[in-house]
Amino acid sequence: MANDPSYECRGLRADVGSRRGPRRLVLDDVSFEIAKGEFVSIMGRSGVGKTTLLRTLAGLHEASAGSVVRFDGQPVSGPPDGVSLVFQDYTSSLLPWRTVAKNVELPLEGRLPTEERRSRVAEALKMVGLADRSDAQPHELSGGMQQRVQIARALASQPAALLMDEPFGALDALTKADLEDQLLEIFAATGTTVVFVTHDIEEAVYLSDRVLVLDGTPAQIVAEIPVASPRPRTQMLTRESSEFLEARHRVHEVIFGT
Protein backbone atom coordinates (compact mmCIF):
# COMPACT_ATOMS: atom_id res chain seq x y z
CA MET A 1 0.00 0.00 0.00
CA ALA A 2 1.30 3.42 -0.94
CA ASN A 3 0.65 4.94 2.49
CA ASP A 4 2.48 2.32 4.52
CA PRO A 5 5.28 3.87 6.55
CA SER A 6 8.88 3.01 5.91
CA TYR A 7 9.72 3.21 9.61
CA GLU A 8 7.35 3.08 12.52
CA CYS A 9 8.57 3.51 16.12
CA ARG A 10 6.25 3.48 19.08
CA GLY A 11 7.29 3.71 22.72
CA LEU A 12 10.91 3.07 21.73
CA ARG A 13 13.20 2.64 24.74
CA ALA A 14 16.91 2.03 24.38
CA ASP A 15 19.63 1.73 26.99
CA VAL A 16 23.41 1.62 26.65
CA GLY A 17 26.31 0.25 28.68
CA SER A 18 28.09 -3.02 29.15
CA ARG A 19 26.22 -6.25 29.77
CA ARG A 20 27.87 -6.60 33.18
CA GLY A 21 27.89 -2.96 34.36
CA PRO A 22 24.92 -0.68 34.97
CA ARG A 23 22.93 0.28 31.91
CA ARG A 24 21.67 3.77 31.27
CA LEU A 25 18.37 4.62 29.60
CA VAL A 26 19.11 6.91 26.63
CA LEU A 27 15.82 6.92 24.72
CA ASP A 28 12.41 6.64 26.37
CA ASP A 29 9.05 6.59 24.68
CA VAL A 30 10.32 7.76 21.30
CA SER A 31 7.49 7.55 18.77
CA PHE A 32 7.38 8.58 15.11
CA GLU A 33 6.61 7.39 11.63
CA ILE A 34 8.62 8.04 8.50
CA ALA A 35 6.84 7.72 5.19
CA LYS A 36 8.34 5.86 2.24
CA GLY A 37 10.36 8.28 0.16
CA GLU A 38 10.47 10.90 2.92
CA PHE A 39 13.64 12.75 3.97
CA VAL A 40 13.76 13.22 7.75
CA SER A 41 16.56 14.77 9.78
CA ILE A 42 17.23 14.05 13.43
CA MET A 43 18.81 16.77 15.55
CA GLY A 44 19.67 17.22 19.24
CA ARG A 45 22.61 18.04 21.46
CA SER A 46 25.73 15.89 21.59
CA GLY A 47 25.17 12.72 23.60
CA VAL A 48 21.37 12.93 23.46
CA GLY A 49 21.03 9.60 21.66
CA LYS A 50 20.93 10.28 17.90
CA THR A 51 23.45 7.60 16.98
CA THR A 52 21.75 5.18 19.36
CA LEU A 53 18.44 5.86 17.58
CA LEU A 54 19.98 5.40 14.13
CA ARG A 55 21.74 2.18 15.19
CA THR A 56 18.42 0.90 16.53
CA LEU A 57 16.74 1.63 13.18
CA ALA A 58 19.64 -0.16 11.45
CA GLY A 59 19.14 -3.24 13.65
CA LEU A 60 22.59 -2.83 15.22
CA HIS A 61 21.30 -1.87 18.66
CA GLU A 62 18.55 -3.79 20.37
CA ALA A 63 15.62 -1.75 21.68
CA SER A 64 14.28 -2.57 25.16
CA ALA A 65 11.39 -5.02 25.53
CA GLY A 66 8.03 -3.51 24.71
CA SER A 67 9.39 -1.10 22.10
CA VAL A 68 7.82 -1.17 18.66
CA VAL A 69 10.33 -0.64 15.84
CA ARG A 70 9.13 -1.66 12.39
CA PHE A 71 10.72 -1.27 9.00
CA ASP A 72 8.47 -1.86 6.03
CA GLY A 73 5.89 -3.39 8.37
CA GLN A 74 8.29 -5.94 9.89
CA PRO A 75 9.72 -5.79 13.44
CA VAL A 76 13.42 -4.89 13.35
CA SER A 77 15.52 -7.63 14.93
CA GLY A 78 18.94 -7.43 13.33
CA PRO A 79 19.87 -5.46 10.19
CA PRO A 80 16.83 -5.45 7.88
CA ASP A 81 17.16 -6.14 4.17
CA GLY A 82 16.87 -2.89 2.25
CA VAL A 83 18.51 -0.65 4.85
CA SER A 84 21.99 0.88 4.43
CA LEU A 85 23.87 2.86 7.06
CA VAL A 86 26.45 5.56 6.32
CA PHE A 87 28.74 6.14 9.30
CA GLN A 88 30.11 9.47 10.39
CA ASP A 89 33.75 8.47 10.21
CA TYR A 90 34.66 7.68 6.61
CA THR A 91 38.36 7.26 7.45
CA SER A 92 37.71 4.10 9.42
CA SER A 93 34.79 2.81 7.37
CA LEU A 94 36.67 2.03 4.13
CA LEU A 95 39.06 -0.91 3.85
CA PRO A 96 42.44 0.65 3.00
CA TRP A 97 43.73 -2.39 1.08
CA ARG A 98 40.78 -2.51 -1.31
CA THR A 99 40.27 -0.28 -4.32
CA VAL A 100 37.35 2.13 -4.45
CA ALA A 101 35.33 -0.33 -6.61
CA LYS A 102 36.13 -3.25 -4.29
CA ASN A 103 35.03 -1.22 -1.27
CA VAL A 104 31.73 -0.38 -2.94
CA GLU A 105 31.26 -4.03 -3.95
CA LEU A 106 31.78 -5.35 -0.42
CA PRO A 107 28.15 -5.58 0.79
CA LEU A 108 27.10 -7.25 -2.48
CA GLU A 109 29.60 -10.09 -2.26
CA GLY A 110 27.98 -13.47 -1.91
CA ARG A 111 24.57 -11.91 -2.57
CA LEU A 112 24.60 -11.19 -6.30
CA PRO A 113 26.25 -12.69 -9.40
CA THR A 114 29.53 -11.04 -10.52
CA GLU A 115 28.03 -9.25 -13.55
CA GLU A 116 25.22 -7.71 -11.53
CA ARG A 117 27.68 -6.67 -8.82
CA ARG A 118 29.94 -4.93 -11.32
CA SER A 119 27.09 -3.01 -12.90
CA ARG A 120 25.71 -1.97 -9.48
CA VAL A 121 29.17 -0.72 -8.46
CA ALA A 122 29.60 1.24 -11.70
CA GLU A 123 26.14 2.79 -11.34
CA ALA A 124 26.69 3.75 -7.67
CA LEU A 125 30.10 5.32 -8.41
CA LYS A 126 28.55 7.27 -11.26
CA MET A 127 25.83 8.60 -8.96
CA VAL A 128 28.43 10.06 -6.60
CA GLY A 129 30.63 11.36 -9.44
CA LEU A 130 33.51 8.94 -8.93
CA ALA A 131 33.21 6.73 -12.01
CA ASP A 132 36.77 7.58 -13.00
CA ARG A 133 38.32 6.70 -9.64
CA SER A 134 37.18 3.09 -9.32
CA ASP A 135 40.74 1.70 -9.32
CA ALA A 136 42.13 4.17 -6.78
CA GLN A 137 43.01 3.20 -3.21
CA PRO A 138 41.10 5.09 -0.47
CA HIS A 139 44.25 6.93 0.72
CA GLU A 140 44.62 8.47 -2.75
CA LEU A 141 41.29 10.28 -2.32
CA SER A 142 40.34 13.48 -0.48
CA GLY A 143 38.07 13.30 2.57
CA GLY A 144 35.03 14.33 0.54
CA MET A 145 35.77 11.67 -2.07
CA GLN A 146 36.17 8.99 0.60
CA GLN A 147 32.83 9.96 2.03
CA ARG A 148 31.32 9.68 -1.46
CA VAL A 149 32.75 6.16 -1.72
CA GLN A 150 31.01 5.29 1.50
CA ILE A 151 27.76 6.71 0.14
CA ALA A 152 28.25 4.74 -3.11
CA ARG A 153 28.74 1.58 -1.05
CA ALA A 154 25.43 2.26 0.72
CA LEU A 155 23.69 2.96 -2.62
CA ALA A 156 25.02 -0.15 -4.36
CA SER A 157 22.56 -2.38 -2.54
CA GLN A 158 19.75 -0.11 -3.82
CA PRO A 159 18.37 0.48 -0.33
CA ALA A 160 14.76 1.31 0.39
CA ALA A 161 16.08 3.35 3.34
CA LEU A 162 19.36 5.16 3.76
CA LEU A 163 20.41 5.97 7.33
CA MET A 164 23.13 8.63 7.54
CA ASP A 165 24.95 9.61 10.76
CA GLU A 166 26.43 13.10 10.38
CA PRO A 167 27.83 12.08 7.00
CA PHE A 168 29.14 15.54 6.07
CA GLY A 169 30.11 16.69 9.58
CA ALA A 170 33.87 16.53 9.01
CA LEU A 171 33.92 18.24 5.59
CA ASP A 172 34.65 21.83 4.60
CA ALA A 173 31.68 24.07 3.71
CA LEU A 174 32.08 23.87 -0.09
CA THR A 175 32.48 20.09 -0.23
CA LYS A 176 29.56 19.79 2.15
CA ALA A 177 27.31 21.91 -0.10
CA ASP A 178 28.33 19.80 -3.13
CA LEU A 179 27.56 16.55 -1.35
CA GLU A 180 24.24 17.88 -0.05
CA ASP A 181 23.20 18.62 -3.63
CA GLN A 182 24.45 15.26 -4.85
CA LEU A 183 22.45 13.57 -2.09
CA LEU A 184 19.32 15.50 -3.09
CA GLU A 185 19.77 14.36 -6.70
CA ILE A 186 20.17 10.75 -5.59
CA PHE A 187 17.15 11.12 -3.31
CA ALA A 188 15.05 12.44 -6.22
CA ALA A 189 16.31 9.78 -8.64
CA THR A 190 15.95 6.72 -6.40
CA GLY A 191 12.95 7.59 -4.21
CA THR A 192 14.76 6.10 -1.22
CA THR A 193 13.72 7.04 2.33
CA VAL A 194 16.46 9.00 4.13
CA VAL A 195 17.00 9.37 7.87
CA PHE A 196 19.76 11.91 8.35
CA VAL A 197 21.49 12.86 11.61
CA THR A 198 23.18 16.27 11.66
CA HIS A 199 24.28 19.04 14.04
CA ASP A 200 23.78 21.66 11.35
CA ILE A 201 20.35 23.33 11.44
CA GLU A 202 20.67 24.83 7.94
CA GLU A 203 21.71 21.47 6.50
CA ALA A 204 18.78 19.71 8.18
CA VAL A 205 16.29 22.25 6.83
CA TYR A 206 17.83 22.40 3.35
CA LEU A 207 17.64 18.64 2.87
CA SER A 208 14.56 17.53 4.76
CA ASP A 209 10.82 17.22 4.52
CA ARG A 210 10.72 17.14 8.33
CA VAL A 211 13.15 17.78 11.19
CA LEU A 212 12.75 15.81 14.45
CA VAL A 213 14.44 17.16 17.58
CA LEU A 214 15.49 14.87 20.42
CA ASP A 215 15.97 16.26 23.92
CA GLY A 216 15.98 15.20 27.56
CA THR A 217 17.59 12.49 29.65
CA PRO A 218 16.35 10.01 28.64
CA ALA A 219 15.53 11.62 25.32
CA GLN A 220 12.21 12.00 23.60
CA ILE A 221 11.16 13.77 20.44
CA VAL A 222 10.33 17.27 21.62
CA ALA A 223 9.55 18.86 18.27
CA GLU A 224 8.70 17.95 14.73
CA ILE A 225 9.18 20.74 12.22
CA PRO A 226 7.92 20.36 8.65
CA VAL A 227 9.87 22.07 5.86
CA ALA A 228 7.54 23.40 3.18
CA SER A 229 10.24 24.44 0.66
CA PRO A 230 9.43 22.95 -2.74
CA ARG A 231 11.80 20.53 -4.51
CA PRO A 232 14.06 20.58 -6.41
CA ARG A 233 16.00 22.76 -3.98
CA THR A 234 19.02 24.88 -4.75
CA GLN A 235 21.60 26.20 -2.32
CA MET A 236 20.97 29.85 -3.04
CA LEU A 237 17.27 30.15 -3.83
CA THR A 238 16.02 27.63 -1.28
CA ARG A 239 18.10 29.16 1.51
CA GLU A 240 16.65 32.59 0.72
CA SER A 241 13.03 31.40 0.57
CA SER A 242 10.46 32.23 3.25
CA GLU A 243 9.69 28.53 3.80
CA PHE A 244 13.34 27.77 4.52
CA LEU A 245 13.74 30.77 6.85
CA GLU A 246 10.58 29.94 8.74
CA ALA A 247 11.59 26.31 9.32
CA ARG A 248 15.13 27.35 10.28
CA HIS A 249 13.68 29.82 12.78
CA ARG A 250 11.49 27.15 14.36
CA VAL A 251 14.29 24.59 14.65
CA HIS A 252 16.57 27.24 16.13
CA GLU A 253 13.91 28.18 18.66
CA VAL A 254 13.46 24.58 19.77
CA ILE A 255 17.19 23.89 20.09
CA PHE A 256 18.43 27.15 21.58
CA GLY A 257 15.26 28.69 23.02
CA THR A 258 14.17 32.13 21.87
Ligand X SMILES: Nc1ncnc2c1ncn2[C@@H]1O[C@H](COP(=O)(O)OP(=O)(O)OP(=O)(O)O)[C@@H](O)[C@H]1O
Q: Where along the sequence are the contacts to ligand X (CB under 6 A)?
A: 16-17, 26, 44, 46-52
Q: Which residue is nearest to Mg ion (CB)?
A: 51
The per-type count for the chain, helices as H runs and strands as E runs, is 8, 10
Q: Which is nearer to ligand X, 50 or 117 (CB)?
A: 50
d(CA 12, CA 118): 39
| Beta bridge pairs of residue 226 | 210
Q: Supply the minimum distance, in Å, between the C-beta of residue 238 and ligand X.
A: 25
Instruction: Using DSSP, state whether 129 is helix, strand or coil.
Output: coil
Give yes or no for a cis peptide into 232 (omega within 30° of 0).
yes
Q: Which is nearer to Mg ion, 129 or 169 (CB)?
A: 169
Q: Supply the minimum distance, in Å, between the C-beta of residue 24 and Mg ion.
A: 15
Q: Which is nearer to Mg ion, 50 or 133 (CB)?
A: 50
Q: Which is nearer to ligand X, 55 or 233 (CB)?
A: 55
d(CA 218, CA 215): 8
- Which option in Mg ion, ligand X, none does residue 46 bind, with CB closer than 5 to 8 A by kind? ligand X
- Which option in Mg ion, ligand X, none does residue 17 bind, with CB closer than 5 to 8 A by kind? ligand X
Nearest to 223 by CA among 54, 47, 43, 55: 43
| Beta bridge pairs of residue 12 | 30
- Which option in Mg ion, ligand X, none does residue 16 bind, with CB closer than 5 to 8 A by kind? ligand X
Site for Mg ion in 20-59 (CB under 5 A): 50-51
Residues binding Mg ion: what is the number (CB under 5 A)?
A: 2
Q: Supply the minimum distance, in Å, between the C-beta of residue 215 and ligand X.
A: 10
Q: Which is nearer to ligand X, 22 or 230 (CB)?
A: 22
d(CA 58, CA 127): 23
Separation of first and last alpha carbons in the chain? 41
